[in-house]
Structure 1
Amino acid sequence: MNQTQAKSGMKVISAFTVLCGLLVVPFGLPSNWAIADDKQPKLDENPAVVLDVVRLKKSDVTESSGLAVSNVGKNRWWTHNDSGNKSYLYAVDNRGKATGRCRLKGIENKDWEDMASFVHDGYPRLLVADSGNNLHKRKSIELYLLDEPNPDKKTDQKRVQVLHVTFPDQPRDCEAIAVDTERQKVVLITKGKLPYAVVYTIDLPKRNSRPAGDTEKIVAQKATTLSIPMVSGMDIDSKNGDVWIVNYFQAFHFKRTANDQKLSEQFAKLPQIYSLPNWKQVEAVAVDQQHQVWITSEGKSPPLGRLRLTRPSPTNASSTVNE
């Protein structure tokens, strides 16, 4: 092992030690996980943690496992249900009201786990990740790319790019996907019970309008590893390149400090860590055009809310700093 490798190893060990100490604190699962959906437990709306909380009522969303901010409509979000549901994307507004939906024709929802919105060559686009693989039986995962439809209408989308993605070492369970338009990469992070996650990337493909069924096979490339367990969602701030990752308890903010910074270098820095509200199961995160970070959760009439990224002033608990 040379000197550079030794220093790199010490950084990994240091990050692992610090993060493990922070992550092991919550020994139990959130208390309301054991409550049946139809009982509608009181929603945690602690303003020190989450703001602007609404429920996605009067919609068909019952297992929100992906979230993306619209680049077509103002105050619109896209989400979708988990495995075994219809191949629909659902649009909602900032009051939780359903505004539209898009059906991906010819596409199956095997285990949709995440989605992302981005602008590519001037076109607002969406990516949907059929990437769940809890039992590690799937030899490949599927990524679907499409032009973002009008979030205020009901539409059918026939033109979908289909990517069959395999991992270079072994089948992986992956619930966190994001698009890095600066580096022209799609970033994928694996999910595991131990504080160990593998980061992979693929090249962001050129936009085309081929019909569903016309597929491309791609092998992901390993980029680095992270000391975070149970990674359930990710998004990248399109304005500054910051990466946001969530698991069931916390959000991790990895800042990008230079335009030419490598992804592995960005992830080598210790992140800022934020607590999440005590919701059933946070599986999705999305960053809007004003750098605000939104999350949603599984469950009936799932909540949507904005993470509080500042803390109350110690001299005046009712005031906020830079809020």
Structure 2
Amino acid sequence: MNRATIARAVVAGASLAAMPAVAATFGEMPQIAGLVRDARLAEISGLTASRRAADRYWVHNDSGDRAELFAIDSTGAVVARVMVDGYAVKGTKKPVDWEDVASFEENGKAYLAIGDIGDNGGVRPRVEIVVIEEPDIAGATAQAPVERRAQIAWRTRFRYADAPHDAEALAIDADAGQALIVTKRTYPPMLWRVPLRSDGEATAVALGPLRVPASNEPEPPASLRVRPRQPTGLSIDRTGSQAAVLTYRAVWLYARAPGQSWAQAFATEPQVLPIAGLPQGEAIGFDASGTHLYVTGERWPAPLIRYDWKSVARPSSR
């Protein structure tokens, strides 16, 4: 994404005023947890907490990079690099447009799902989710980083039911056997469901629009291709009780009640967490406990910011 274009969009939307949050869960003033200083990570586009290593987070770059992921600690220091073998799209070993990553567990194994779902021009007839087993990086530190190789466990190729869409936001609901995707250039943003596994080409099904936080200002015109409230990342916590949507200007936090569907949860008024100190937020993820929320993005060195849970009752586990 062109940074100058994004900067103009953020300025254009600077007057978008968030209304009071429905539920005060995370504190609205984030902390600077650290900086991602590794020059190999100049355009971070996805972030997810490891299922196998405490205090470790998987990240990857945006389009044009190799099929590789990096693990960082909670200060932004790189502790591991993983190269994905056997990746080939249209004769090249590079992904088309990796935009997000989500960790999950299935049958006792930890996996990483990578969303090759970016489509700036709205021309890709099909996109895909690539799944690998999460590598073991136990003991890896910034002082003793490790390198691993991973094989593709499976790929889920799919098309949208209506037309191609650009998306940068992916999460996995392993209990339901589905991936959740939020499209970027529709307004309001649309929630889609894709089967986590599919024998053939799957079809993404629209679940409904997201409720966009109320604002005193109108949405910028559709002619402005990059708008401040476009979703650029998605994460759901391990209890399945909350989801965080990242935009260029804020985080939208949706609570999910027991028995409620994701479509119903995303139709409720979200809590708004303003972004500070991050010019181009593109990656978001809860930690393993769901009490910290990390955000970073496409700048080098990239600030790693953290929102902390306030002293209120936690949602019950599902």
> What TM-score, normalized by structure 1, do the two folds share?
0.76
1:223 has 2:207 as partner: yes
Q: Distance in 1 between matches of 2:130 and 2:164?
A: 19
Matched residue, 2:238: 238
Match of 1:132 among 108, 118, 127: 118
When the two chains are superposed, the root-mean-square deviation of aligned CA atoms in Å is: 2.2
Q: Secondary structure at the match of 1:83?
A: coil
Identity %: 25
The Cα shift of 1:55 comes to: 0.7
Q: Distance in 2 between matches of 1:100 and 1:59?
A: 14
Deviation sequence 1:94-128 (CA, Å, 0-9, x none) = 23221111111122321111000111121111000
Q: Distance in 2 between matches of 1:146 and 1:162?
A: 9
Q: Distance in 1 between matches of 2:190 and 2:34?
A: 33
Deviation sequence 1:267-310 (CA, Å, 0-9, x none) = 12111111111312101110112212111111112121211454
Matched residue, 1:58: 38
1:205 has 2:197 as partner: yes
Q: How does 1:69-88 map to 2 (within 5 A)?
A: 69-88=49-68
Deviation sequence 1:66-91 (CA, Å, 0-9, x none) = 00101111111110011101111001
| Amino acid across the alignment from 1:163 | T
Matched residue, 2:23: none
1:59, 1:98 within 8 Å by CA — same for their partners in 2? no
Q: Distance in 1 between matches of 2:48 and 2:260?
A: 25
| Amino acid across the alignment from 1:295 | V
1:102 has 2:95 as partner: no
1:66, 1:81 within 8 Å by CA — same for their partners in 2? yes
Q: Secondary structure at the match of 2:231?
A: coil
Q: Distance in 2 between matches of 1:62 and 1:220?
A: 31
The Cα shift of 1:58 comes to: 3.2
Q: Secondary structure at the match of 2:79?
A: strand
Matched residue, 2:157: 164
> What TM-score, normalized by structure 2, do the two folds share?
0.77
Matched residue, 2:14: 26
Which structure 1 residue ranges, 4+ long, deviate > 6 Å from structure 2?
none
2:28, 2:274 within 8 Å by CA — same for their partners in 1? no
Matched residue, 1:286: 285
Q: How does 1:141-220 map to 2 (within 5 A)?
A: 141-151=127-137, 152=140, 153-192=146-185, 195-205=187-197, 216-220=200-204
Q: How does 1:101-120 map to 2 (within 5 A)?
A: 101-107=81-87, 108-120=94-106
Q: How does 1:305-320 map to 2 (within 5 A)?
A: 305-310=305-310
Deviation sequence 1:121-144 (CA, Å, 0-9, x none) = 211110001111011111111110
Deviation sequence 1:194-217 (CA, Å, 0-9, x none) = 6411111012228xxxxxxxx841
| Amino acid across the alignment from 1:232 | T
Q: Distance in 2 between matches of 1:74 and 1:59?
A: 24
Determine which structure has the larger helix proportion and give its number. Answer: 1
Q: Distance in 2 between matches of 1:308 and 1:92?
A: 19
The Cα shift of 1:50 comes to: 1.4
2:195, 2:202 within 8 Å by CA — same for their partners in 1? no
Q: Distance in 2 between matches of 1:247 and 1:202?
A: 22
The Cα shift of 1:59 comes to: 5.1
Q: Secondary structure at the match of 2:244?
A: strand
- For structure 2, list consecutive stretches of 5 or more residues without a partner in the other structure: 1-11, 17-26, 88-93, 141-145, 213-228, 313-318
The Cα shift of 1:242 comes to: 1.2
- For structure 1, list consecutive stretches of 5 or more residues without a partner in the other structure: 1-23, 29-46, 207-214, 311-320
Q: Secondary structure at the match of 2:265?
A: helix
Q: Distance in 2 between matches of 1:257 and 1:289?
A: 20
Q: Secondary structure at the match of 1:182?
A: helix
| Amino acid across the alignment from 1:138 | R
Q: Secondary structure at the match of 1:189?
A: strand
1:132, 1:174 within 8 Å by CA — same for their partners in 2? yes
Q: Secondary structure at the match of 1:149?
A: coil
Q: Distance in 2 between matches of 1:90 and 1:281?
A: 19
